[in-house]
Chain A
């Protein structure tokens, strides 16, 4: 095995150096992406960092904007809200997506093409449009599932939107709009597991549960980690859901429910772009920290074992 790998590697090395001009073509292919990434990703980030460290008179202020926004009365609640939301959202995403894709892969092979398509469908709708759909679903008077809401004892939109329900409510919306795509991705990941391994396990007497826990899930850990990083980053930046649900409920949700909304309030209500930038840099650091943690704990970017 080792010898085989070694020859394969040296073969690849030789191949690459021989096709050196073709290597340059790669740069051409990524150049378009890199340019856009620079213009719309890297430069705005650098500008945000600069804004966060300076004031409106372009003087450096160190961490002044960070301490100032940290002391804001809305800072704590906003991060608490998003923290609660992330716990509910990430837990339900991980468990349900993995569970559903395992079931699609193992139990329902015949119906799985149709189901995969159905799962993916809401994700194909533009995010905002899906949220708008939910605005109707959440009003007991207009909702087709009004009976369900009423069975919980919620007879008006105001009762559905009670502050304590919001993290769960946004999770339901986010799951509906975003999880379908992940189920398709996980299904693909499960497909990459060689059939021989599963067959060997089955011959050895492993049950479906044992196969899932001992073979399938460990073999798609990297995919789950990847999902975790992206879902965490998207979750901390929650904006559309609270903003739209707030508009639809005549402002029952505070205008700075999530940190991203607070940042928006700073920029556009108070005209304080530096404070807004400090808040978005906070979110950037959180996202990077989570990504770093997950990447190093799961070895996401390690190319080969051993």
Chain B
């Protein structure tokens, strides 16, 4: 018996293999459908139909570690509401946990969190799509119009698709020009108001104080800081799931040339501000830094540990040829109410409290998107005395200056920039030389997610 085992098992193996091959080829031959993935329905259903509501039922809230204390504060103030809090990554730093999990919940047909926070400002682009989008259109009787109107102008743009609002904005991340007032005074420089002056000053700094920096181009969000402000059509929505990508536009190349000049001179770094090397060696040499409003507390205060009374913010820069200055924004969290929630009332109330209440937003780390809360927030910032000047007027001004031509898309401009442009910069190429590769990368990624690119 032992002797013929290999032979018979081999024969059996061959038989099984033939049977499996036969079955597979039958399946292959039986093909009748199209392999195209379901075209995502561009227009969502007109009227939102909630699932059967169960008053007083428990709601599940997903939030990141920064926002969880806020949810706990809400729980304390509203002891009658049953809340289950789940801490997750909050989709920070390019994570896509929420989307991953929602895809699985969609397949399983249950398990969606009633309320979810996301630090990724692009998340509404997928949460508003599909046969039954995850996000509830909150403007359809979930949250009153009066509340929605209280947000800063354009703050809800990343939430708005096909005329519906699918989320509430937690905070704005409008870009301003950060500068070190003490250093500027010491060197005898004045704060630039145009990109041309900025470039001239950058060249001067490189000559007079080598090693000092006026910006960084190695951050994932560099496109949003520099190219958005330059009104570069890198991602302009021209319709539902249609985008225009044109990096050869003069408004893109002018910014690329400006940065190339300053990178070559050495006053714009190819590193990212959060890298260990930058924090260790360059943090004290930052003279100016165009960047989002949260840089103030999060970067200068907590990460760079720049002493009190040195850092100040100036208005976003403009190009001399333009009539008005524009800016971009880097992130800005979103709150979703699930369209599958059995307790929309409690979910909506929580989301409203988290985004609009002075109690929470007034002391949050980031600039509130809700206008009234922003006033309280700015007053509190002034009280901390961290900034060399009141940042209030600049923040308020730049919140309304965000160029509307840059759309929230299902793909991340940040991921594309950091995986195609940053390595090229570090291998010694210039931005201008990389524009074509970058253009192709955006176009390919957009098409792979079902966008029409023109």
A, B bound:
yes
Question: Per a CB cutoff under 8 Å, which of A63, A158, A268 touches B28?
Answer: A63
Closest A residue to B423 using CB positions:
A163
Which chain A residues lie closer than 8 Å to B218 at the CB level?
A: 158
Which residue of the partner chain B has the closest CB to A250? B220
Residue A74 lies at the interface, judged by CB distance under 8 Å to chain B: yes
Binds A, one of B54-62, B111-119, B410-418: B410-418
**Closest residue of A by beta carbon distance from B449:** A270
A263 in contact (CB, < 8 A): no
Whether A303 and B6, one on each chain, are in contact in the complex, defined by CB atoms closer than 8 angstroms, is yes
B66 at the interface (CB under 8 A from A): no
Within 8 A of A (CB), among B399-431: 410-411, 414-415, 418-420, 422-423, 426-427
B5 CB within 8 Å of chain A: yes
Answer yes or no: A12 CB below 8 A from chain B CBs: yes
Known interface pairs A251-B419, A267-B103; A141-B275 also in contact (CB < 8 Å): yes
Q: Which residue of A lies closest to B440 (CB)?
A: A73
CB distance from B416 to the nearest CB of A (A): 9
- A139 to B418, Cβ gap below 8 A? no
Residue among B103, B275, B414, B423 making CB contact with A268, cutoff 8 Å: B103
Contact between A12 and B38, CB atoms less than 8 A apart: no
> Which chain A residues lie closer than 8 Å to B29 at the CB level?
62
Set of chain B residues within 8 Å of A9, measured between Cβ atoms: 2-3
Tell whether B270 is near chain A: CB-to-CB under 8 Å: yes
Residues B28 and A62 in contact, CB atoms below 8 Å apart: yes
Assembly CA distance A156 to B418 (angstroms): 15
Q: Which residues of A contact B411 (CB under 8 A)?
A: 269
A267–B30 Cα distance when bound, in Å, is 25
Whether B426 pairs with A12 at a CB distance below 8 angstroms is no
Question: Does B37 reach chain A (CB closer than 8 Å)?
Answer: yes
Taken residue by residue from 22 to 64, chain B's Cβ proximity to chain A (1 for < 8 Å, 0 otherwise) reads as 0010011111111111101000000000000000000000000
Interface residue stretch chosen among A22-30, A47-55, A113-121, A227-235: A47-55
A61 touches B31 (CB 8 A): yes
Interface residues on A, range: 35 or more
Give the residues in chain A near B419, CB-CB below 8 Å.
Answer: 246, 251-255
- Pair A157/B275 contact, Cβ less than 8 Å: yes
A141 in contact with B277 given A57-B38, A60-B32 (CB within 8 Å)? yes
The answer to the question of A13 belonging to the interface, with a C-beta cut-off of 8 Å to chain B, is yes
Whole-angstrom distance from the CB of A29 to the nearest CB of chain B?
20
Q: Mark B140-164, 1 if CB is under 8 A from A, else 0.
A: 0000000000000000000000000
A13–B271 alpha-carbon span in the complex (Å): 71
Residue of B nearest to A246 (CB): B419
Q: Which B residues are CB-close (under 8 A) to A56?
A: 37-38
Q: How far is the CB of B168 from chain A (nearest CB, A)?
A: 24
A272–B36 alpha-carbon span in the complex (Å) = 10
Q: How distant is A171 from chain B, measured CB to nearest CB, in Å?
A: 19
Point out the residues of chain B lying under 8 angstroms from A55, CB to CB.
33-38
| Cβ contact within 8 Å between A251 and B94 | yes
Tell me the smallest distance from the CB of A190 to a CB of chain B, in Å: 27
- Please tell me which one of the listed residues B5, B35, B94, B449 contacts residue A247 in the complex, with CB atoms under 8 A apart: B94
> Distance (Å) between the CB of B25 and the closest chain A CB?
10
Contacts of B415 in A (CB 8 A): 251, 255
Assess the A271–B32 pair: CB atoms within 8 A: no
* Contact call B6/A53, Cβ cutoff below 8 A: no
Residues of chain B within 8 A of A83, CB atoms compared: none
Interface assignment of A274: CB less than 8 Å from any CB of chain B: yes
Which residue of A60, A68, A251 contacts B33 across the interface (Cβ within 8 Å)?
A: A60
In the complex, whether A259 has a CB less than 8 A from a CB of chain B is no
Q: Tell me which residues from 105 to 143 in chain A have a Cβ below 8 Å from any Cβ of chain B.
A: 139-142
Assuming the contacts A9-B2, A252-B423, asked whether A140 and B277 have C-beta atoms less than 8 A apart, the reply is yes
Binding site for B on A (CB under 8 A): 9, 12-13, 49, 53-57, 59-65, 67-68, 72-74, 139-142, 155-159, 161-163, 246-247, 249-255, 267-275, 301-303
Further contacts, 14 of them, CB under 8 A, given A12-B2, A62-B30, A271-B126: A53-B24, A63-B28, A139-B275, A139-B276, A142-B276, A142-B277, A156-B275, A158-B423, A162-B423, A249-B418, A251-B94, A252-B422, A269-B99, A269-B410
List the 5 closest A-B pairs by CB distance, nearest first: A64-B35, A59-B33, A62-B31, A141-B277, A251-B418
For this complex, 18 residue pairs linking A to B, each with C-beta atoms less than 8 Å apart, are: A12-B2, A53-B28, A55-B34, A64-B34, A74-B444, A139-B275, A141-B280, A156-B277, A162-B423, A251-B415, A251-B419, A253-B419, A255-B419, A269-B96, A269-B99, A271-B126, A273-B107, A274-B35
